[in-house]
Structure 1
Amino acid sequence: MAPAAPRAPRAPRAPRPLGAARLLLLLLLLLLLLLGPAGRRAAGAPVVAELRCQCLQTLQGIHLRNIQNVQVTPSGPHCARTEVVATLKDGREVCLNPEAPLVKRMIQKMLSNSN
């Protein structure tokens, strides 16, 4: 028997395109990640992102006894405006308008209490 001739090397395979079902699944997963577990956001709820403004909509005020914590983020490279995010006692987070008189008084009271 004669020795077999060596085979020519195979050309590398091109990556297979994603099937329609895989693409749909990927899009659904991305959508779920963006919307979060609740699927909807309340008015004034912050949008979590690192390099952009968190608050797309703001509330003029909320009753003080509903607030558990307040976080004030000054303007900077991530956002051109000051943002006030209040954590409510039920766990929700809402954005408050930093120019509203009630919010200004609340921030001043917080600053005076910390000194």
Structure 2
Amino acid sequence: MPFKPHYLLVALTLCWFVTLQAFPMIGCAACSKCRCIRTSSDFISPRLYHKIEILTPGAHCRQTEIIITKKDKATVCVTPDARWIKKVISKLQSNNKKKRSADV
């Protein structure tokens, strides 16, 4: 079977893609996996909350992200430094501690 140059090209391309996927892309702004592009510090009434997600910094994103999903399915990214959200989080944490101690 004679040597086919396009087999070599396909093999080299495949190796290139595999190698490219293996390297970490730390510091690549376009590769950021942060879910929040913009954040808001505006107050959102707790009556409108459906779910609160707190994403700690990690490999996916270098900053803490707080995502509130409202009952109308809209999502809002909240600034973690906003005073009102800190109060909401501490109240939720204290409620969880009370609930855990009551279960024991």
What TM-score comes out, normalization by structure 1 length? 0.53
1:48-67 Cα distance to aligned partner (Å, 9 max, x none): xxx61100111113122111
AA matched with 1:53 = C
1:77 aligns with 2:59: yes
Q: What is the CA–CA distance in structure 1 between the aligned matches of 2:46 and 2:75, rounded to whole Å?
A: 14
AA matched with 1:64 = P
Aligned pair count reads 66
**Partner in structure 1 of residue 96 of structure 2:** 114
SS in 2 for 1:109: helix
**Partner in structure 2 of residue 52 of structure 1:** 33
Root mean square deviation, CA, Å: 1.6
Q: What is the CA–CA distance in structure 1 between the aligned matches of 2:36 and 2:60, rounded to whole Å?
A: 12
Runs of 4+ in 1 over 4 A off after TM superposition: none
Q: What is the CA–CA distance in structure 2 between the aligned matches of 1:64 and 1:99, rounded to whole Å?
A: 18
Higher relative helix content: 2
Q: What is the CA–CA distance in structure 1 between the aligned matches of 2:62 and 2:94, rounded to whole Å?
A: 25
AA matched with 1:109 = K
AA matched with 1:84 = I
Taking only the aligned residue pairs, the percentage that are identical comes to 34
1:105 aligns with 2:87: yes
Which consecutive unaligned segments of at least 5 residues does structure 2 have?
Answer: 1-31, 98-104
Tell me which structure has the larger Cα radius of gyration.
1
